[in-house]
Amino acid sequence: MYARNAINAYSQVGVETGAMSASPHRLIVMLFDGARAAIASARFHMDAGDIPAKGNAISKAIDIIVNGLNAALDHQAGGDIAADLEALYDYMSRRLLQANLRNDAALLTEVDGLLATLASAWAQIGEQPPAAAQAQAPAPLLVVEN
């Protein structure tokens, strides 16, 4: 019991330290990772029949999605993409709530899959500064010689 508390305290310090030194891109990666880890924990507790722990894990995932990922959206710069992501985050939150109420692991799997897809797309964006991303000219699709 004490070792578990010590491990939890240590991991919390590690997360806080990582967040304080992370770039904005890395923070979003950490949010995706945290939400997916909470869903994995919820699935574990659901399988074990630990209802309170399952509920806490699902609440954590919802909190990360709503107060982390959704709150980070820039609606002025993001336009339609930000609006679409906001709707998707709302959908995910509702599905997680349903998973908790129905004790439905398939709903956890659905939301985890959505998060995995978004996390993969986000990872492909990389951490290029905006100026560097714009400075790179696209490769020509076809070279025509006269």
- From residue 77, alpha-carbon distances to 56, 73, 86, 132, 137 in Å are 34, 9, 14, 18, 22
Residue 96 · residue 61 · CB < 8 Å: yes
DSSP state of 66: I
Domain 2-122 matching CATH 1.10.260.40: the answer reads no
pTM for this prediction: 0.74
pLDDT tens across 77-115, in order? 888 999 999 999 999 999 999 999 999 999 999 999 999
pLDDT tens across 24-76, in order? 788 889 999 999 999 999 999 999 999 999 999 999 999 999 999 999 898 88
Domain boundaries along the sequence of the chain: 2-122
For 5, the 3-state DSSP assignment is helix
